Structure 1
Amino acid sequence: MAFNKELPEWKAAGIEPPLTKRNEGWKPGEKPPADWLNWTQNRTYEALKELQEKAAEITSIQSLSVKSDVRVGTTENITLSGTQTINGVAVIAEDRILVKNQSTGSQNGIYVVKAGAWARAADTDTSAKLANGIEVFVREGTVGRQTLWRMTNTGTVILGSTALTFQQTEASLVSPAFMGVPTAPTATVASNNTQIATTAYVDSVVSTSPTATPLNLGYGHQIVTVPRNTPYNLLNITGRTLINLLGRNGGCEDTSGFTTFQATMAKVAPLTNGVGAIEVTSTTASFASVSSTATYAFKQGKYYVSIAAIKGTSGIMGGIDFPGVATYEVPMNGQIQLIGRRINHTISDTNVTFAVFARATAVGLKIAGDDVRLYEITQAEYNALPPATFSLDSSNKWIADKYAYVDDMKTIRNPYLIKSGENLLPPIAEVNQTSLGALVPIAVNAPYSVSLTTTATNQFLANGRVNLLPNTQYTLSLESPLGAGFKGFINQTKVDGTASAGGQLILELSTSKTATFVTSSDISYALVFYGNSTGTGTFTVTNPMLNLGTTALPFKPNADDYLFFPNVQLASNMDNTIYDTLYKRDGKYWKLSRFKTMDLDGSLPWSNPNNATGYKRVAANIGTSVIASSQKVTKYDGKVLGAIGAIDGAVLNADGNLYLDVAMTDSGWGDSYNPTNVEVQAYFYGWKMSSTNTSSPAPYMGSGNKYWYSIGSVPLDSQWYTSANVTPITQILKPYKLQYQLANPTVEEIAVEGDITLHEGLNQVDVGNGMIVRERLNPQSDGASPPNYTFANMQVTGNVPAALLKYRNNGILAIYKNGLLDKEWHIDTAVPQGKNRAWIEATNYDQSAAYTVTYIAEQYSLTSNVQSIQGEYPSNLKTVVDTLATNQADVVTRVGVLENTQAQKAQSQWIEPTLLNGWVNFDRTQWEAVSYRLTDTNVLEFKGGLGSGSNTAIFVLPPKYRPTKERTIIVSSHNGISDMMGRIDIYSNGEVKYIAGGYTFASLESIRIPL
């Protein structure tokens, strides 16, 4: 109650007295009527009651939480008396002040300024007035101007005893515009929400340059997330050399070099790479195997890992056996499996074979093996591997990536990055629709809009092949639903081209324009298409968008970024402690070379300094800047050479002399015969010597006729032999290969193509190797009617290969016509050289144009895998702009240097070859020495005169200078009596051969061959 005394009730209404009586009042002796008295008492009661209620309301208002404004709030402890300056405001008497920072918290509250001691404001001067808490608005002040503050105490508040606490509850507000110095909490770096961007936050974005954010990438497909569009700065890639101790035998490409036990063997389709696998079929209900005839060394105290691809009859056990060293096996399930085992070789040095085996329970059971590999590893690598036999799947993919199969010795070659655009789908109008069977004519409305009128069920429209990550969410969206009966389809496919365990995903797009799906665990890529499982009619696919995540993003055309490093080779020592490095500096890419890898072919200056029983020691000087004994040498069959002093040994001395011990069984040189230097060169060109030219070759012992046949062949009659000097003949097998460490590392600038920008959000990035960039093409007619032009085609009319690439391909990416992308080509998988072939209609083929192709080579025959890419991206907007500005300056500099260099570029240097077979330079006083060079326009030029020869090879061109097809040149010659026309043929193997004409003299002047 507002009153202390209780109000007495008087509810009798009575009768109101007349106005005259109310004006005159009662006179002495008059007796007023009772009703008049009741009226007076009732009116008095009603008035007092209203007054009491109003007083109660005032009391209630005074206890409400919202109090009258204060002029200013304190920011520090003050003296609660007199006028003073508070928070930048000179307060005067009767100003209301919010005191909230006293050292003694019980002094806090709302005060009224006085000349002497301040008094608490009337609306907050009792505990009761604070019981419900208070809120107060602060109008002025340097800090906290135009803010609302709340007392935050809980529980019972006793004024003068309880420490009062206040907290700002709302941001500073000035209407219609912010005034003074408004503040707000600073958002965290890289925030992209609706929080206010304070000066501090903006400064962090545009005024400071924080350290770049590291972003390292591993091999294969991966997802990376960035907060904004930003350039990716590749810092470095380190080299790696991987040596398969099984050589090329582990590839199981054919049955030569293998024997069987209680089994038969056959070459079958490859399980993973290459052109074949070896299949074992049991002939008893017991152990069945196929074993290598060659043996392989396990060294005491060394660590190894072996992995293989196998596929066998369900229910039996099968695997790989290194007899007496290690065995690993798993149950067969009728599917291709990758299995492996780590090996700690604690016993003495051992040489053993390897076998693909099955524990057959009946006759006729099968197991196939492919891509068997054996790598020496470090103890740390050994410790990181599973302790028992392991199977490889998406959960331990890193093992398969790190120890991928390679033939013999491989370094990292031609690494690349590809960042997929936000839209993973290519333009639907550019997709080849011919492989979809029951196809009816389509109407192309725009690059991303195509209509199909179906005449029966199960007619489809393809949207291309896309690489997808396993166990990942994607969203497919269209501009509008397809309509009743039409759906989207995702054909999930494994790396070997078979259907994944997840099979086909069917997306309901008939009434919805978006669908989200999760990929299977074994997916490699998917085919996306649309069609009708029921009904017929016309449907239109417009602006299809496939993006990462569960939210459909606004449509964007596909825009992939890439960064290719063609013609780059990055090596290391075996434990990967010393390596080549690719890195970026001043906007350019450089390679720090610590190793050199080279072919050991017949062009080297070979000699025969020593003989031993069963083998010959041959030597060649490879130059200076070598570290002694740093050599790693593989033979023509991929076998790794061991220590010198035995068959298949090697050593590199500090003077650059390389010594190899070559077995008589490989060379055909008998123990009693010392081959000439030219004959040693012939061996390294791929030729084996024999004393006979029959189906039974025999070593040449020093007398009789000399014959040669190609290494690896089995001669049947004399037509397999040649008796001419064979040094320049085409090598049949792959050459010996040498890697060694340089005594003096070198640095060189390398060529690159492209650059990477990451888009805001989720990015799908592919890291790989083996990228062949813009290889020159020579497409051939397929002989059909009407003809098409094709390349990378293993079978055209006449069942012959056509226009093969330098390497088997693992995917053709782009074909260029005169340097520009040509989208008229069709890329498919029919009889390809590797994964793809390409063809184009004759009407779209320009025989005068220069065609090139960019493709990924099959990895195992060219490269080991990139292990990691070290990189970073700018951490805020300022560093993004700074990076772009720096890159722009670097680009301008590079373009300027390129323009000046091109303008001032001197012609390539002339090279004088070693003349063969008695040919000599003719009269040097009158003629230049025989020489050749390759111009900057890729034209091979010759000069000089030669003589004293015959119808033999003159010299051999190195690989870089060889034409892709045989060329015939007409030259001027002399036979000692008269001038005559002569003929010289230049072969794709580099051989320059004199075919006809005078032998006394021949001129090579003015010969020019575009390559």
Structure 2
Amino acid sequence: MTNPVTPNIGLNKIDRTSPSTTYFDLDKYIDQNADAVDQFAGEASEAIGALEKRLDTEERREVVLQPGLQIVNAERSAPFKLSGIKGRTLVNLLGRDGGCESVNRWSAAYQTSVMLDTGMKEGGSSSLKVSATGTASFEHYIDHEGIPVKVDAHYILVGMAKPSNNKSKAYMRIYGLDSNNEPNNIYAASNTVEDTASFKPVVLKFKPTAVIKVVARLQLKDSLGNEIYIQDGQSGNFDSIRIYEISATEYTALDSMTPEQIAAKYPYVDSVQPVRNPYVIRYGENLAPTLFEGIRESSTKVLSEYSAIVKATGSTVVEYRSKLISAIPNTIYTLQAKITRNGVEKYDGVYVDVLGYDETGLYVLDTPGTVNTTGKDTFATPANIKTMEVRIVAPLDAAVGDYVIEDITLNVGNALEIHKPREDSILALQMDLYADPVTGEHADEVFEKEGQYFKLAKWKKVVLDGVQSYTITVNRLGYKVVGITWNFPTAIKDSVIATKHNGSQLEKLRAGDIDSASDQVILDITATVITISNTDSGWGVNYTPTVDEIKAYFMGWKMYDGGADASSTYNGTGLKAWVNLKQHKEGNSSNYTTTLPTVTAEGWAPYQIIYQLATPTVEPIVSEGMLTFIEGDNQIEVGTGIVLREGVKPVDAGDGTYWINGRTSPSYPLSKRPSRIQSVYKNNLPDNGWIAHPVDVGYEYVFGLVQARLGSGLFDPSANYSVTYLMLDKSPIALFTGSYAANEKAMLQELTDTVQQNATAVSVLMNKKVDNDAPGWITPTLLNGATSVDTTRFGTVAYRKLSTGKIQFRGLVQVTSSGADIFKLPSGFRPESYLKFPAANGGTYGEIVVLNTGEVRADVGGTGAKWYSLANITFLAEQ
């Protein structure tokens, strides 16, 4: 008979109903019970101790988020607390030439041609196509003009190459030039690319020993690897070429890295780029976008975010294609959906599947989709995948009729998940983070304090835009020495990184050195010296320019003898004239003037100086969002170049659809060239009706790689629209280091801190609102006959800086001519690049243009009165 026990810890009880219970068993009723009580007490003590630890001791898990896409597994759902981001600077010694947007400064060898190929590119708007034009026994290549290097320094050359056909191979070389500009061969050679489907990285490292310049060579081989006797017509494309000086440690580490890993670590940048506008996105546990975020056929009726009715007609039709989803190579994903017909689940008709694409847009993955009894499809992504899309397909053999598609779910891993709406989280920061470009030392740093992000700034950028103080200190043979002073923080002597208008780096001399050639720079504590060639400036050998003529050069104008052609120099007699230097170097000298220019030349990229501060400063950062982890696998993207909620003016294409970033004139493009439109907002709330489109060839008004379209009848003319997007121009990517709460104590402490910080933030915002509502307007000096009109209703033309770091305009201005400056913004009130804003003009349209050099001007549209309202103009002050 079973002995009775207590229900919770199993103590033995005497069975008083049994006649056999005639004695008291000491072992059974004393010792065993005592052991059971002791065991229970020990377990309870351990559990209580563990609970006390969870409630009394804060425990966090450290996490490092790497550049690019990755999977991060979190123990629990919790916010990410940023502990730091460090700056990084890449200096491309090829300047902007490596972008392959121009053939200038590239020369072709015998029986070789070079041209811009806009139809085949890895980045930007074109690549360089190198073609063999004969079969003589010569190598076929193009060379860049030599760039200065340092003996025994360490360098890496990286580029992207793609042979045009299977008869060709593509690779790169480096060779050196001595002090007489004669070849002194290094002849390091890169790996060879044979893949004709897409661009692949070619890399090589080199360490100069007896040369002062090196030349980058883009070269072809035949299918057998021969460098000579190449067949006529063989060709290859090259793009995104960069040469960086790196440290000895990095140089050694290259031997253990693949070309793909090297290309990722050393991405292409134009000229000098810091870590710019870093971001981290945690994509939703469900990666599938809503059915509103994609292209739908008219036979598909969307019922809600994740449900639709699809009509099968007996023809194969792709009923729905989602917006693109970032995909991780060599990773397991699971797709699932509920599909019914006449109220019964049915998986042998209409189905949901996934297509994947590589970086060139070619599809590399075509999954079977939900064509089984469970509506589930688990698949692995290939190594070359970049993005993927979810589709709803009505195949040819599907029974004709209506199908209901519900609860589309795409998640990482192979486990079935309960359907949830997609909810991404993002942390985005608007700032530049610099560091020593070779050693990585003295890096700018981001830190968080009381819920606000700050930058410990150790570097400063100065744009030489004509507003600085200039003096001619020396007139040398072939070049001039120009002294420059500015009212910025004190520099650490000799810490300068300087670039000229084409993005190439100026040679750095030390304070006290004597200049010896053009394109050199010397940085002292509060001033700098730059040497400028007479060929660039147009100043004659014996001519000393005035201060205003120096300013004109730094605004992009070359001086010349007006009685000769624009390639001449001015030597002090005759007619003075100025030509747009950038356009002149590209072969177009039509943009000239005989009046001393006072505005920045069209398309001009100013000289820039970056230097290390003698005393670091702490600066607040504009930020958006909060990153949170979900329990389990998180798909996370870390990158740079995000632009937050930029105001836009959608344009009617004439058929009832509206477009962002061009399509018709006026186009109102985004301020930066976009590579990806992340989100569109209507009155600061997400507007999921917009569909991202690659830029269509043939539309001259588009800008960058992508546009956004809103279907007919969905545009609200009374709403304010803005967009968050990624810039096409690349910058180095930094690690995000931080932690998340691993137990209850940490989560409670974080919750308490957040409540306190939010309460403080609300109080501060209220106070700042009072400040913003109060008069704080700056009234500028109006130029070129511009006047404030109707000041009673519109206020005097003025601007101010808000607490958010944005600049706000007001007033109604009357202008006298198109393109004339209205006023000029000082440093600290300027955007990072040119901005255009629509402005009312007597019933027609016009544009107000704000240049990154501070000029504010009106581009007149239509005819009649030229009055412009400035009231809707706001932008972020970035320099």
TM-score computed with the length of structure 1 as normaliser: 0.72
Residue from 609, 613, 628 that aligns with 1:738: 609
Conserved? CA contact 2:167–2:234, under 8 Å:
no
CA gap 1:693/1:477 in 2 versus in 1, 3 angstroms: farther
Conserved? CA contact 1:788–1:841, under 8 Å:
yes
Structural mapping, 1:909-924, within 5 Å: none
Query: Match for residue 226 of structure 2?
Result: none
Conserved? CA contact 2:293–2:690, under 8 Å:
no
Corresponding position: 1:887 with 2:754: yes
1:953 is displaced (CA, Å) by 5.9
Hey, what's the Cα distance between the residues in 1 that align with 2:751 and 2:848? 49
Query: Match for residue 752 of structure 1?
Result: 623
Residue 571 of structure 2 aligns to a residue whose secondary structure is coil
1:816 is displaced (CA, Å) by 1.7
Conserved? CA contact 2:671–2:835, under 8 Å:
no
1:730 is displaced (CA, Å) by 3.8
Query: Match for residue 375 of structure 1?
Result: 244
CA gap 1:499/1:885 in 2 versus in 1, 3 angstroms: same
Corresponding position: 1:267 with 2:116: yes
Conserved? CA contact 2:312–2:350, under 8 Å:
no
Hey, what's the Cα distance between the residues in 2 that align with 1:963 and 1:828? 22
1:301 is displaced (CA, Å) by 1.3
Hey, what's the Cα distance between the residues in 1 that align with 2:411 and 2:858? 62
Query: Match for residue 863 of structure 2?
Result: none
Structural mapping, 1:207-286, within 5 Å: 207-210=56-59, 212-261=60-109, 262-268=111-117, 269-285=119-135, 286=137
Hey, what's the Cα distance between the residues in 2 that align with 1:467 and 1:994? 41
Hey, what's the Cα distance between the residues in 1 that align with 2:859 and 2:358? 54
Structure 2 residue identity aligned to 1:299: K
Q: How many pairs align?
A: 786
1:539 is displaced (CA, Å) by 2.3
Residue from 501, 515, 536 that aligns with 1:636: 501
Residue 704 of structure 1 aligns to a residue whose secondary structure is coil
CA gap 1:505/1:953 in 2 versus in 1, 3 angstroms: closer
1:586 is displaced (CA, Å) by 1.7
Hey, what's the Cα distance between the residues in 1 that align with 2:797 and 2:485? 23
Residue from 691, 713, 716 that aligns with 2:561: 691
Hey, what's the Cα distance between the residues in 2 that align with 1:219 and 1:993? 40
Structure 2 residue identity aligned to 1:513: G
RMSD of aligned C-alpha atoms?
3.6
Corresponding position: 1:940 with 2:833: no
Residue 121 of structure 2 aligns to a residue whose secondary structure is coil
Query: Match for residue 647 of structure 1?
Result: 518
1:282 is displaced (CA, Å) by 0.6
- Once the two structures are overlaid, the 10-residue window that deviates more, 848-857 or 213-222, is 848-857
Query: Match for residue 715 of structure 2?
Result: 845
Hey, what's the Cα distance between the residues in 1 that align with 2:338 and 2:587? 68
Corresponding position: 1:327 with 2:173: no
Conserved? CA contact 2:560–2:569, under 8 Å:
yes
Which residues of structure 2 form unaligned runs of 5+?
6-22, 176-184, 223-229, 340-344, 510-514, 697-701, 788-795, 814-818, 861-867, 874-879
Query: Match for residue 1000 of structure 1?
Result: none
Question: Which whole-Å deviations, capped at 9, do the CAs of 1:442-488 have from their partners, x for residues lacking one?
Answer: 12232211121111332123352221211111111223554323333
Query: Match for residue 901 of structure 1?
Result: 768
Structure 2 residue identity aligned to 1:823: N
Structure 1 residue identity aligned to 2:320: A
Query: Match for residue 353 of structure 2?
Result: 489
1:509 is displaced (CA, Å) by 2.9
Hey, what's the Cα distance between the residues in 1 that align with 2:263 and 2:404? 42
Corresponding position: 1:872 with 2:731: no
Corresponding position: 1:807 with 2:672: yes
Query: Match for residue 446 of structure 2?
Result: 582
1:1010 is displaced (CA, Å) by 3.8
Hey, what's the Cα distance between the residues in 1 that align with 2:691 and 2:722? 15
CA gap 1:953/1:444 in 2 versus in 1, 3 angstroms: closer
Hey, what's the Cα distance between the residues in 1 that align with 2:129 and 2:81? 47
1:322 is displaced (CA, Å) by 1.5
Conserved? CA contact 2:337–2:352, under 8 Å:
no
Conserved? CA contact 2:682–2:719, under 8 Å:
yes
Hey, what's the Cα distance between the residues in 2 that align with 1:327 and 1:304? 13
Query: Match for residue 54 of structure 2?
Result: 205
Question: Which whole-Å deviations, capped at 9, do the CAs of 1:825-877 have from their partners, x for residues lacking one?
Answer: 332114253332123356433334322111011142xx2222x1111111212
CA gap 1:336/1:995 in 2 versus in 1, 3 angstroms: closer
Hey, what's the Cα distance between the residues in 1 that align with 2:96 and 2:55? 57
Residue 582 of structure 2 aligns to a residue whose secondary structure is coil
Hey, what's the Cα distance between the residues in 1 that align with 2:146 and 2:612? 28
Hey, what's the Cα distance between the residues in 2 that align with 1:477 and 1:184? 44
Structure 1 residue identity aligned to 2:328: L
Structural mapping, 1:313-712, within 5 Å: 313-323=165-175, 324-325=185-186, 326-360=188-222, 361-386=230-255, 392-393=259-260, 396=261, 399-428=262-291, 430-434=292-296, 439-462=297-320, 464=322, 465-480=324-339, 482-500=346-364, 503-536=365-398, 537=400, 538-623=402-487, 624-644=489-509, 645=515, 646-654=517-525, 656-692=526-562, 695-712=565-582
Conserved? CA contact 2:276–2:640, under 8 Å:
yes
Structural mapping, 1:59-74, within 5 Å: none
Residue 507 of structure 1 aligns to a residue whose secondary structure is coil
Query: Match for residue 155 of structure 2?
Result: 304
CA gap 1:825/1:995 in 2 versus in 1, 3 angstroms: closer
CA gap 1:608/1:908 in 2 versus in 1, 3 angstroms: farther
Conserved? CA contact 1:241–1:411, under 8 Å:
yes
Structure 1 residue identity aligned to 2:680: I
Residue 903 of structure 1 aligns to a residue whose secondary structure is helix
1:231 is displaced (CA, Å) by 1.2
Larger Rg: 1
Question: Which whole-Å deviations, capped at 9, do the CAs of 1:260-282 have from their partners, x for residues lacking one?
Answer: 11211221134311000011111
Structure 2 residue identity aligned to 1:733: W
- 1 or 2 for the larger relative contact order (CA 8 Å, sep ≥6)? 2
Query: Match for residue 790 of structure 1?
Result: 659
Which residues of structure 1 form unaligned runs of 5+?
1-60, 70-93, 99-109, 111-135, 148-170, 173-180, 187-197, 922-929, 945-950, 971-983, 997-1005
TM-score computed with the length of structure 2 as normaliser: 0.82
Residue from 183, 192, 208 that aligns with 2:43: 183
Residue 752 of structure 1 aligns to a residue whose secondary structure is strand
Structural mapping, 1:857-868, within 5 Å: 857-860=727-730, 863-866=731-734, 868=735
Conserved? CA contact 2:556–2:581, under 8 Å:
yes
1:236 is displaced (CA, Å) by 0.6
Query: Match for residue 16 of structure 2?
Result: none
Question: Which whole-Å deviations, capped at 9, do the CAs of 1:854-909 have from their partners, x for residues lacking one?
Answer: 1011142xx2222x111111121221122112111111111111212222447576
CA gap 1:568/1:701 in 2 versus in 1, 3 angstroms: same
Query: Match for residue 781 of structure 1?
Result: 652
1:297 is displaced (CA, Å) by 2.0
Identity across matched positions, percent: 26
CA gap 1:540/1:787 in 2 versus in 1, 3 angstroms: closer
Hey, what's the Cα distance between the residues in 2 that align with 1:362 and 1:995? 52
1:391 is displaced (CA, Å) by 5.3
Residue 726 of structure 2 aligns to a residue whose secondary structure is strand
Question: Which whole-Å deviations, capped at 9, do the CAs of 1:332-389 have from their partners, x for residues lacking one?
Answer: 23133433444341512421321211024311101111011111111111111127xx
CA gap 1:652/1:273 in 2 versus in 1, 3 angstroms: same
